[in-house]
Amino acid sequence: MIVSATALAETVYVRDTLYVPLRGGATAEHRILHKGIRSGTAMELLEADPESGYSRVRLPDGLEGWIQSQYLMDSPIAAVLLDETTARLQKMEAEYNANVDQLTALQQLQIVLSEDNRILKQANAALTAELQEIKTTAANVITIKNQNASLLDERRALEEQVDALLLTVDTLDSSNDQDWFIRGAGTVLLSLLVGFIIARRFYRRNISGGWS
C-alpha cells in the first residue's frame, strides 16, 4: 500500500479555464448563441438582472446575449494578468536587449571615434609641423630674396666702380701715352737744341779761327 501510494503521488493543477455559454435570454432554457466563451474574455456589460442571475453582454465581435452573472468579474483573471505581465516582461526584456545592443554599438562607435580622434590629432600635429616648416622655409626664402637683392645692388655698385676704374685706367693710359709722346718730343727737341747749340759753337770757333 505504501509503495502504491508513493507511486500515485504526482503533481496536479486545478484548471481555471472555463467555457461559458452565451444564451439568447436570461434563463437556462433559452437558445445557446455561443457554446463556449473562454474565461478571461473581455466583453461589454449592457444590462444586469439580479433576479435571474443573468447579465446581457456584447462580445468583441458584436454578438449580444445573456450569460450567468456569477462568471463575470470586474478585473481580469489571474491567467490574463499573468499573460499581460508576461507580455510586459517580454516587452521590457526586448527593450532591455535593444538597449544593451544600442549600448554595445555606442561603445564600439566610441572606440572607433576615439581611434579617429587619435588619428586626427596625429594628422593635426603633422600638419602643424609642416605648416611651421613652410613658414620657416618661406621666411628663409624671403631672407634669401632680400639677400639676393642686396647682392645684386652690391654687384651693380661694383660693376659701376669697375667701369669707373676701367675708364680711369683708359684715361691714365691715354695720359701716359701723351706724356711719353711729349717727353719723347721734348727729348728730341732738346737733343736738336743741344746739337744746334754745339754746332753753333763749333761754327763760331771756325769763323773766329778763319778770321784770325
pTM flag (> 0.75):
no
Beta bridge pairs of residue 12: none
The domain segmentation of the chain, as residue ranges, is 1-74, 75-179
Q: Is residue 57 classed exposed, middle or buried when 0-12, 13-18 and 19+ CB atoms within 10 A define those classes?
A: buried
153: pLDDT strictly greater than 60: yes
At the topology level of CATH, where does 1-74 sit? SH3 type barrels. (2.30.30)
190: pLDDT strictly greater than 70: yes
Q: What digits encode the pLDDT tens for the residues 36-80? A: 888 778 889 999 999 999 999 999 899 999 998 888 887 766 655
Q: Higher model confidence: residue 150 or residue 191?
A: 150
